[in-house]
Amino acid sequence: MTKDIFGKVDLNNGQALDNRLVMAPMTTQCAFHDGSVTDELINYYGRRAGGPAAIIVESTFIDNYGRAFEGALGADSDDKIHGLTKLASAIKDKGSKALIQLYHAGRMGVPELNMGRQPVSASNIKALRDNAVEPRTLETDEIEDIIRDFKDSSIRVMKAGFDGVELHGANTYLLQQFFSPHSNRREDEWGGDRLKRTLFAKSVIQAVKEAAVEFGKPDFIIGYRFSPEELEEPGINFDDTMFLLNELAEYPIDYFHFSTNSWSRTSIIDTTDEELLIDKYLRDASDELRKIPIMGAGGIFSKEDVRLALAAGYDLLSIAKAHLVNPDFVNILKNNRLPETVLREGDNERLSIPHPLWNILGFLKSK
Ligand SMILES: Cc1cc2nc3c(=O)[nH]c(=O)nc-3n(C[C@H](O)[C@H](O)[C@H](O)COP(=O)(O)O)c2cc1C
């Protein structure tokens, strides 16, 4: 059956998304130094709201010492609620749902951005990247503190009026680090075989759900983003990912979100394997997992791309770069107009693109 791009998608918690297209999280690096909301952020997101069923606001730190970027947005303290409320309103007033991506950088944390603190992780194994700093192994009570930080940050964004959170279990941040056999070498209940390595993600999901129930918002949306594979050895392969997702499907998750640069991605570990990851996903998903909408990501720039990706099996699609170039991307597709593909001189002003983001978008600019 052909999926209607602009038809509603029901979530298990009783909420519905108005259509199948969502603005993907993109770090803009333009929050205030302490992580609070700037007018630039409000203008940028407000400008892009209305067409997509939901906007997923960029990765937002839940702990003052868990930042991965300069200019990162934070939900780590109550004084941020005021700005976050303005941000949620700018999105919701135009008719899109407001979601926000919560993360802790773990070993990807940079000391200079975290008051000189050594990064922390499941174990003291450095990330495989230039200039990586050896992280300190988290104590058990610190793991519990971080789970509580996810819960407290969820309450703050609920107070601010957000409709839900996306837990950032991708892009090598702390949630992924606990599942990865590369970064998690623990021998206590938080590590070990791959079932034990799912405990941190499960505990975070449960804590956010508890927050929603305690706050009186049981239909608060909880999404989960994952990176399908890691190149590290040992690392997460797609079979491990399906194990994780089938486990997490028993928890209150409203959608899962691939973190890929192409919706038609194949394995990056076995480059001779031509089977699409979405085909493997649909084949290996448990009955519970099949009940949860799956969001694809990467390389959607036209209505034809949307049609092909939905036909491949995704229920929802997230769109990042096309939303930078076309703040009104979803309405352009709805009206059968052709979206722009490149940025031109002066577009930062015209399209309300924050300055720090504009400076790293060279690859999208016309020559
Ligand atoms: C400037 C920029 C910032 C990004 N920041 C985030 C982020 O904060 N969280 C995240 O999960 N993905 C992030 N991504 C990845 C996007 O969400 C998306 O998956 C990727 O760009 C592929 O989609 P696209 O082809 O539609 O751009 C970022 C991408 C870009 C270009």
How many angstroms is it from 298 CA to the middle of ligand 1? 8
Segment 246-271, tens digit of pLDDT:
999 999 999 999 999 999 999 999 99
- Choose which residue among 21, 22, 26 to substitute to test ligand 1 binding: the one with the highest number of ligand atoms within 8 A of its C-beta: 26
Whether pLDDT at 1 is above 80: no
Residue 3 counted as domain residue: no
Q: What is the mean pLDDT of residues 264-285?
A: 98
Residue 290 counted as domain residue: yes
Q: What is the mean pLDDT of residues 241-245?
A: 98
The CATH number of the domain holding residue 210 is 3.20.20.70
Alpha-helical runs (H) found in the chain: 39-48, 81-92, 140-159, 174-179, 199-214, 238-248, 277-284, 287-290, 303-312, 321-325, 329-334, 347-350, 355-358
Say if CB 183 and CB 122 are below 8 A apart. Answer: yes
pLDDT at residue 365, rounded to an integer: 77
Segment 285-306, tens digit of pLDDT:
999 999 999 999 999 999 999 9
Q: How far from chain centre, in Å, is Cα 202?
A: 16
Segment 166-194, tens digit of pLDDT:
999 999 999 999 999 999 999 999 999 99
Token readout for 279 is 């085909």
pLDDT at residue 306, rounded to an integer: 98
Residue 1 counted as domain residue: no
Eight-class DSSP state of 343: B
State how beta strands 97-103 and 164-169 pair: parallel
Q: Which residues line ligand 1 (CB under 6 A)?
A: 24-27, 58-59, 101, 168, 170-171, 225, 259, 261, 297-300, 319-322, 357
- Got the DSSP string for 137-180? EPPHHHHHHHHHHHHHHHHHHHHTT-SEEEEEE-TT-HHHHHH-
Residue 4 counted as domain residue: no
How many angstroms is it from 83 CA to the middle of ligand 1? 23
Token readout for 115 is 């008051």
Segment 52-99, tens digit of pLDDT:
999 999 999 999 999 999 999 999 999 999 999 999 999 999 999 999
Whether pLDDT at 367 is above 70: no
Whether pLDDT at 148 is above 80: yes
How many angstroms is it from 141 CA to the middle of ligand 1? 32
Residue 97 counted as domain residue: yes
Say if CB 54 and CB 15 are below 8 A apart. Answer: no
HSE-up of 115 (CA within 13 Å, CB side)? 6
Protein residue with least CA distance to atom 29, ligand 1: 26
Residue 225 counted as domain residue: yes
Per-residue CA distances from 22 to 36, 90, 123, 322 (Å)? 24, 16, 35, 11
Q: What is the mean pLDDT of residues 348-367?
A: 88
Q: What is the mean pLDDT of residues 327-348?
A: 95
Residue with tokens 């209305």: 50
Q: What is the mean pLDDT of residues 130-154?
A: 97
Say if CB 98 and CB 165 are below 8 A apart. Answer: no
Say if CB 49 and CB 358 are below 8 A apart. Answer: no
Segment 308-333, tens digit of pLDDT:
999 999 999 999 999 999 999 999 99
Domains of the chain: total: 1
Whether pLDDT at 36 is above 70: yes
Segment 206-240, tens digit of pLDDT:
999 999 999 999 999 999 999 999 999 999 999 99
CA distance 248 to 195: 11
pLDDT at residue 366, rounded to an integer: 77
pLDDT at residue 363, rounded to an integer: 79
Domain that holds residue 115: 9-364
Residue 291 counted as domain residue: yes
Residue 2 counted as domain residue: no
Helix (H) or strand (E) holding 59: strand 54-61
Looking from the CA of residue 361, the nearest atom of ligand 1 is 1
Contacts of 328 (CB under 8 A, 6+ apart): 48, 50, 51
Whether pLDDT at 2 is above 90: no
Whether pLDDT at 203 is above 70: yes
How many angstroms is it from 321 CA to the middle of ligand 1? 7
